[in-house]
């Protein structure tokens, strides 16, 4: 059982207050009966719920895209530090949410947050090779030798990284667009570090086929829509 405002907000990718407004206007019905009490609870899976005469398909889990700001930890327990879960807006908070993936505290950009444990587990697994693209601002330029070393696979400690794509964003060669298919600890910083290059800023802009929504400001988030969830699930 779930509150009707929460069901409508999640299904239509709108805020809880916008969902409440629709309910109060009499635009929501459950099993043919108009519902005006925003806090009434229904069986979200087995009820026939309509909003604006459109059938609502309720997803058991939520998938949230966040534009992670600097200074927050990609974990559910920050042990004193703020986490990506702490900074979710109140109307998106629910039980069992945690980040499906890791970004360093100072890395910004695309963070997926979900309560679908199986999905998160598959994304976090070392067996998952979903491509992830980052923009890296560097303290000095890279060259074609480094591009081909990334492409062959850099050795980090005793592991050879999978081939990575490195492209110059502009002709200074101090901003790189890097695509990796693993999630090793500090991977991109260590890959550049091999060549004495320091990563000054790092932002994840893409996971699989999904790009970070450019309308999301620092720390802002939105629900993924069904089509986006399908796309990312196909890649893990």
Q: Which of 188, 212, 221, 224 binds ligand URA (CB under 6 A)?
A: 188
Q: Where would I find the beta strands (DSSP E) of 120-180? A: 132-138, 155-156, 159-160, 165-168, 175-180
Terminal-to-terminal C-alpha distance of the chain: 30
Task: Determine contact, residues 192/198, Cβ cutoff 8 Å.
Answer: yes
Nearer to ligand URA, 29 or 107 (CB): 107
The sign of the dihedral angle between the CA atoms of 178, 182, 187, 191 is negative
29, 67, 83, 187: which one binds ligand URA (CB under 6 A): 187
Quick one: 179 exposed, middle or buried, by C-beta within 10 A (0-12, 13-18, 19+)? middle
Identify whether the C-beta of residue 222 lies closer than 8 Å to the C-beta of residue 64: yes
Question: Which one of 4, 38, 146, 202 is in contact with ligand URA (CB under 6 A)?
Answer: 202
40, 189, 206, 222: which one binds ligand URA (CB under 6 A): 189
Segment interacting with ligand URA (CB under 6 A) among 24-32, 48-56, 182-190, 212-220:
182-190
Distances, alpha carbon 106 to alpha carbons 63, 77, 207, in Å = 23, 17, 18
Q: Residue 104 catalytic?
A: yes
- Restricting to residues 58-117, name those near ligand URA by CB under 6 A: 103-104, 107
User: Which residue, 97 or 109, is less far from ligand URA as judged by CB?
Assistant: 109
**Active-site residue among 77, 81, 90, 104?**
104
- Piece of the chain touching ligand URA by CB under 6 A; list 20-28, 59-67, 114-122, 183-191: 183-191
Catalytic residues: 104
Binding residues (CB under 6 A) for ligand URA: these are 103-104, 107, 186-189, 202
């Amino acid at each position: 059982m779930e509150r009707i405002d929460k069901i409508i907000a999640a299904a239509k990718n709108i805020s809880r207050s916008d969902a409440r407004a629709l309910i109060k206007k009499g635009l929501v019905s459950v099993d043919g009966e108009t519902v005006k009490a925003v806090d009434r609870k229904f069986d979200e899976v087995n009820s026939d719920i309509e909003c604006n005469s459109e059938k609502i398909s309720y997803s058991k889990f939520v998938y949230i895209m966040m534009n992670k700001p600097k200074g927050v930890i990609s974990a559910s327990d920050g042990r004193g530090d703020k986490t990506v879960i702490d900074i979710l807006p109140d109307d998106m908070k629910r039980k069992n949410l945690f980040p499906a993936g890791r970004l360093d505290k100072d890395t910004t950009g695309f963070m997926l947050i979900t309560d679908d444990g199986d999905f998160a587990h598959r994304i976090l697994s070392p067996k998952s090779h979903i491509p992830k693209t980052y923009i890296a601002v560097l303290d000095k330029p890279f060259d074609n030798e480094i591009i081909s070393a990334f492409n062959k696979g850099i050795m980090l400690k005793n592991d050879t990284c999978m081939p990575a794509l490195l492209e110059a964003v502009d002709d200074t060669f101090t901003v790189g667009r890097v695509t990796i298919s693993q999630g090793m600890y500090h991977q991109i910083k260590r890959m550049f570090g091999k060549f004495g290059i320091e990563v000054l800023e790092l932002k994840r802009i893409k996971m699989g086929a999904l790009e970070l929504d450019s309308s999301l400001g620092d720390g802002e988030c939105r629900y993924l829509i069904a089509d986006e969830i399908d796309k990312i699930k196909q890649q893990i």
